[in-house]
Every structure is written in structure tokens, then in C-alpha cells.
């Protein structure tokens, strides 16, 4: 049987981790709304496992920031205030800056070629909101995964997942996608030409631009 996952994919055999992945995807994809209560007995029944496994999965998701657990009051999908969203984007901007600085300092021609392929895919996806969000996540993930620090990569992607719902929202306008693509082009240019300082600056600006767009939407929605 062919393994659909690449060889670097860390296969966790334990039940709780598998369940955490599935619930986490449901939250990031928007199937579970913020504030929704996640009752252990319901989840245990729907997944066909015991409450102990569900509890452990919920702890994992709490660490990823997708779920909030209150003692004696159970778990719910994390609800972020506008200020918390702002904080997350600023942290992420800094860490993305660090990752891109390191990537620029160590980029090989091979990595450069892959970056330009991903940039081209981004350009092609500009017309459509969903596909652009997907391509944007792909190139973003490629950058941090090749920065030479698994810890840094996991951290950045964790924050990206926590705000994925809002990022998608902000990319629904063509104007915003155009701005995003222009900034990605600058960033990729700095990366393939091995300019660490410029790469850090552009990476920060890229994430902070998303922050501004998202916050405008959030304040307009109130």
C-alpha cells in the first residue's frame, strides 16, 4: 500500500494525537466556531474512544492555542479578542522575520528554485480567494520549514493556524491579494539573492500588512 504522506511526516500511532489532528483541522477550517463548547462525552462517542483519549487530545489542542480549557468548566474553541489577534500577528511577524533572515543566509540554488515555483503558483492563484489562501500558506510553510529550526517552524505555523480563519477572510478582496502578492515577490527576491536583513524586513512587513487588514475587518464587524 502506498503511503500518501511524505517520508518526513512523523507518524503518531497514539489515538489522542490522531484525534487532536482531526479536531484541530475542523477548528482551523471553520467547521467548529469560536466559543463552541467541546464536550468530552460527545466527542468520545463521535470518535468511538474513551474520555481519557479525548482529554489528552484537548490538552494538545490547548497547547496549540486552538482550544481553551477552564477548570471545572470544560473546553471550548478559543475565542480571540481583536487585541489578542493583534498580539499574535505581531509575534508571528517577528518570528517570520527571524525565519526568513535565517533562510536568506543559508539559501541554496535548489531552495531558490522551489521558492520561485511556489511564487509562480501564488501568482496564478491571485484570481480566486480560496486557492490564493492555500498557495499563500504553502509558500509560507516552505519558508519556515527550511529555516533550519523545527522549533521555530512549529511555533510560527502554530500562530498561523490560530489566525487562519481571519487570514482567509482578509484575502477575500482582490486588492488585498494583489498587495500580498507584491510583498511576497519582494520577499522571495531578498531570499534568493541572499539578503538576510532585507528578507527579515520584508517578512515582517508582509505579516504586519495582514494584521492591519484583519484588524480593519474585525473592527468594522463590531
Using CB under 7 A, list all residues that contact DNA.
14-16, 37-42, 49-53, 55, 69, 71-75
38 binds, among DNA, its own copies, none (CB under 5 to 8 A by kind): DNA
What crossing angle do the helices spanning 51-63 and 40-47 adopt, rounded to 10°? Answer: 110
Least distance (Å) between residue 63 CB and its own copies:
4
174 binds, among DNA, its own copies, none (CB under 5 to 8 A by kind): none
Least distance (Å) between residue 150 CB and DNA:
21
Task: Give the H/E segment covering residue 196.
Answer: helix 196-221
Q: Does 189 bind its own copies (CB under 8 A)?
A: no
59 binds, among its own copies, DNA, none (CB under 5 to 8 A by kind): its own copies
Beta strand residue intervals within 71-176, DSSP E:
74-77
CB neighbourhood size of 126 (10 A): 15
179 binds, among its own copies, DNA, none (CB under 5 to 8 A by kind): none
Residue 180's φ and ψ, nearest 5 degrees, are: -60, -45
Least distance (Å) between residue 38 CB and DNA:
7
Closer residue to DNA in complex, CB, 14/173: 14
Closer residue to DNA in complex, CB, 31/36: 36
CB neighbourhood size of 180 (10 A): 22
Closer residue to its own copies in complex, CB, 14/117: 14
Q: Does 12 bind its own copies (CB under 8 A)?
A: yes
Helix, strand, coil shares, percent, the chain, to 5:
75, 5, 25
* Number of Cα atoms under 13 Å in the Cβ half of residue 104: 23
Q: Does 197 bind its own copies (CB under 8 A)?
A: no
Grid cell of 30 as nine digits: 471553520
Out of 39, 42, 52, 79, the residue judged to bind its own copies by CB under 8 A: 52
Would you give the binding string for its own copies spanning residues 79-98, x where CB under 8 A is met?
-----x--xx-xx--xx-xx
Length of the chain measured in residues: 222
By CB under 8 A, the residues from 154 to 173 that bind its own copies are 155
In the three-class reduction of DSSP (H, G, I as helix; E, B as strand; rest coil), residue 81 is classed as coil
What crossing angle do the helices spanning 82-106 and 150-162 adopt, rounded to 10°? Answer: 150
Least distance (Å) between residue 14 CB and DNA:
4
Amino acid at each position: 500500500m502506498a503511503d500518501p504522506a511524505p517520508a518526513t511526516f512523523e507518524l503518531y500511532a497514539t489515538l489522542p494525537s490522531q484525534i487532536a489532528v482531526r479536531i484541530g483541522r475542523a477548528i482551523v477550517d471553520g467547521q467548529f466556531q469560536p466559543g463552541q463548547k467541546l464536550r468530552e462525552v460527545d466527542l468520545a462517542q463521535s470518535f468511538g474512544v474513551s474520555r481519557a483519549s479525548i482529554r489528552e487530545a484537548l490538552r494538545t489542542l490547548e497547547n496549540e492555542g486552538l482550544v481553551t480549557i477552564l477548570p471545572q468548566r470544560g473546553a471550548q474553541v478559543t475565542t480571540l479578542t481583536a487585541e489578542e489577534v493583534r498580539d499574535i500577528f505581531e509575534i508571528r511577524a517577528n518570528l517570520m522575520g527571524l525565519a526568513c533572515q535565517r533562510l536568506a543566509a543559508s539559501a541554496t540554488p535548489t531552495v531558490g528554485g522551489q521558492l520561485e515555483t511556489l511564487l509562480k503558483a501564488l501568482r496564478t492563484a491571485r484570481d480566486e480567494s480560496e486557492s490564493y489562501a492555500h498557495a499563500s500558506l504553502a509558500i509560507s510553510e516552505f519558508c519556515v520549514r527550511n529555516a533550519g529550526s523545527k522549533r521555530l517552524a512549529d511555533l510560527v505555523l502554530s500562530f498561523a493556524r490560530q489566525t487562519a480563519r481571519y487570514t482567509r477572510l482578509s484575502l477575500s478582496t482582490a486588492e488585498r491579494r494583489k498587495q500580498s502578492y507584491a510583498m511576497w515577490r519582494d520577499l522571495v527576491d531578498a531570499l534568493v539573492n541572499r539578503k538576510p536583513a532585507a528578507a527579515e524586513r520584508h517578512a515582517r512587513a508582509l505579516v504586519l500588512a495582514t494584521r492591519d487588514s484583519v484588524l480593519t475587518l474585525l473592527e468594522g464587524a463590531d
